[in-house]
Amino acid sequence: MPTVRLASETDFQGWREAARALRSSQVAPEATLWTVDGAGGDLFGEAAPSPAAGAPAFTVPREFVELADRVILHRSDERFALLYRLLWRLGREPDLLRIHSDPDVQKAQGFAKAVGLAAHKMKAFVRFRLATDPEGGESYVAWFEPAHRVTEMTAPFFARRFATMNFSILTPDVCVHWDTQRLAVLPGADPADAPSEDSLEDYWRTYYASIFNPARLKVGAMQKEMPKRYWRNLPEARLIPELIARAEGRTDAMVSQAPSTPSRRVMRAAQRASRDASYDGEAVTTLEEVHAGVQMCRRCDLYRDATQGVSGEGPARARIMFVGEQPGDQEDLAGRPFVGPAGQMFDKALAAAGVPRDQAFVTNAVKHFKHELRGKRRIHKTPTTGEVTACRWWLEAERRIVRPRVIVALGGTAALSVFGKALAVSKLRQQALQLPDQAQGVVTYHPSYLLRLPDHEARARAYAQFVEDLKFAWSLAG
C-alpha cells in the first residue's frame, strides 16, 4: 500500500504535495496510508508516487484549502486520510463542502471548529513567568498544553501583543521563541523546562480574586469558558474552589453593606443638593450628608443604571485626598471606592510608596458607575465632561469638608474635575500645582491605565513613575 511519510504532525505543505501526486496518479483514498516521520506506520509499504508526468491539472476550492489548513492541526490520527478522502471526492462532487450532513464534511468541520476553539483558549490562558538567565537577562516563559496543535498558528498573536518582550511558549508539541524581532520554532519541551513560581503568579492570583464577583457566580458557565484541562497551568485556578465556596458569604456581605438610612435633617439637605443644580451646597457639611446625597443624586442620569452612588472614604481630616475617575463594576456593588482590580493596583503602589491608605481620603470625580452592557458584562464607559461637571459639586463638598493639604488627581478625568480644566497628565507629573482652596494639586496616572498597558516594560516603567508620584504627593502632605 502506498505510504506517505510527512515531515511533522502539522506538515501541511507535505500533505498538499503528496495528496496532489496521489490524486493525479488516481490512487484511491482507501489504498493509501498516512504517517509522520518517526511515528511508525507500515514499514513494508511502498513509497507514495511522485506527481504523474503529464497528468491533468486540477484545482480545489479555496474553501477546502482553508478547511484543510485548520483540520491538519487536530490531534486525531484520522485527519490526513479524512482530508485526502474529501479531496478525492471533490473531483466528482464539486459541491461536496456545501453538504453539511455528509459525514466526512461534518467531521472535518467539527475538527476545524475544535482547532479554532483551542487557539482561542490558548490566547486566553497562556500565563508567562519571569525567567532570568545567568547574565541577568530577563525573558518570559510559559508552559502550555493546547488541546490541538495550535501553537505555531497562535504565536503571531503573542508576538504582536507582547512585541517588546522576549518570550518563549513551551508546549509538548513545539516551542516558539520571540526575541522582539523574529519568531523561532523548535521541538517540543517538557514542563520541567519552564520556571514554576514567581511573583507574577501572586499578581495573577490577586488580580483574579479581585475581579471575581461572587454575586455573578455561575459555576457551569465559568467551567465552560475555563475548562478544567487548563487549570493545571493557571496560577489563578488554585483559587477557584475556595472562591466558589466563599461566594455565598461574600454576596451576603455585599447586601448587608447597603447604605443605612440617615437622619431626616441629613436627608433634607442631601435631597436639595441632589436635585437642584444651582444649590450652593453650604448646608452639606458632613461626609454623612455627602454619602446620603450621592445616593439620591439626580444631577445627571448616571444614577439610572448604577446599583448605588459611591462617595469618598477615609478620615474626615485626611492630609491627602486621592481622586479617581468613577466607581467600576466592583465598587458599584460594594459601595466603596477602589476595591476592584484598579484598587488592588492602587493599594500595592500606595504600600510601595509608604502611604498608609487608612490615612488618605479616597474618592472619585464621578460617583456613579457609567457602563454599557455587553452580554452579561458591564463595560466601563468614560464619563462626559457634562457628567464630570455635574458631579464636581459632590467632590467640592468633600474637599470643603476634608480640607486636605494635597489632592492627587489619578488620570485625566480626575484632573478635569479637580482643576476644572483638561490637563496633560504625563507632562505635569511631579509638580505641586496650586489650587484655589489652599490645597496643592498633583497629577499622576490612573491605576487602570497601568493595568491596561499590554507591554511588560512599559507597564513596569509607568508603575515605577506612579509610585514616585505617590511618594512625591505624600512628602508634600508633610
Sequence-ordered list of residues with C-beta below 8 angstroms from that of 261, at least 6 positions apart, any chain: none
Closer Cβ to ligand URA, 29 or 383, answer by number: 383
Residue given cell 475548562 in the structure block: 227
Closer Cβ to ligand URA, 140 or 322, answer by number: 322
Q: For residue 202, give Cα distances in angstroms to 218, 245, 414.
A: 24, 20, 30
Residue given cell 468613577 in the structure block: 326
What is the phi/psi pair of residue 320, to 5°?
-130, 140
Task: Select the residue whose beta carbon is closest to ligand URA and give its number.
Answer: 324
Shortest distance in whole angstroms from residue 349 CB to ligand URA = 13
Which residue type does 452 have? R
Closer Cβ to ligand URA, 293 or 343, answer by number: 343
Closer Cβ to ligand URA, 331 or 398, answer by number: 331
Return residues touching ligand URA (CB under 6 A).
Answer: 324-328, 331, 337-338, 340, 342-343, 364, 448
DSSP assignments along 445-466, one per residue: --HHHHHH--SHHHHHHHHHHH
DSSP assignments along 292-307, one per residue: HHHHH--SSGGGGT-S
Sequence-ordered list of residues with C-beta below 8 angstroms from that of 165, at least 6 positions apart, any chain: 128, 139, 140, 178, 180, 455, 456, 457
Residue 59 grid cell: 484545482
Closer Cβ to ligand URA, 93 or 372, answer by number: 372
444 with 429: CB under 8 angstroms?
Answer: yes
Closer Cβ to ligand URA, 293 or 447, answer by number: 447
Closer Cβ to ligand URA, 144 or 322, answer by number: 322
**First CA to last CA across the chain, in angstroms?**
87
Distance in angstroms (rounded) separating the CA atoms of residues 366 and 235 = 35
Shortest distance in whole angstroms from residue 341 CB to ligand URA = 8
Shortest distance in whole angstroms from residue 64 CB to ligand URA = 50
Residue 398's CB: how many other CB atoms inside 10 A?
Answer: 26
Range list of β-strands (E), 37-106: 46-47
Closer Cβ to ligand URA, 11 or 332, answer by number: 332
Angle at the Cα of 211 from the Cα atoms of 206 and 214, rounded to 5 degrees:
115
Residue given cell 460617583 in the structure block: 367
Shortest distance in whole angstroms from residue 357 CB to ligand URA = 13
Distance in angstroms (rounded) separating the CA atoms of residues 374 and 324 = 24
Shortest distance in whole angstroms from residue 442 CB to ligand URA = 16
Sequence-ordered list of residues with C-beta below 8 angstroms from that of 64, at least 6 positions apart, any chain: 86, 87, 90, 97
The residues facing 377 across adjacent strands are 374
Closer Cβ to ligand URA, 168 or 213, answer by number: 213
Distance in angstroms (rounded) separating the CA atoms of residues 254 and 7 = 58
Closer Cβ to ligand URA, 146 or 343, answer by number: 343
Shortest distance in whole angstroms from residue 345 CB to ligand URA = 9
Shortest distance in whole angstroms from residue 346 CB to ligand URA = 8
Shortest distance in whole angstroms from residue 219 CB to ligand URA = 27
Distance in angstroms (rounded) separating the CA atoms of residues 17 and 11 = 10
129 with 194: CB under 8 angstroms?
Answer: yes
Closer Cβ to ligand URA, 274 or 330, answer by number: 330
Shortest distance in whole angstroms from residue 334 CB to ligand URA = 10
Shortest distance in whole angstroms from residue 301 CB to ligand URA = 19
CA count, 13 A, side-chain hemisphere, 394: 36
Shortest distance in whole angstroms from residue 407 CB to ligand URA = 14
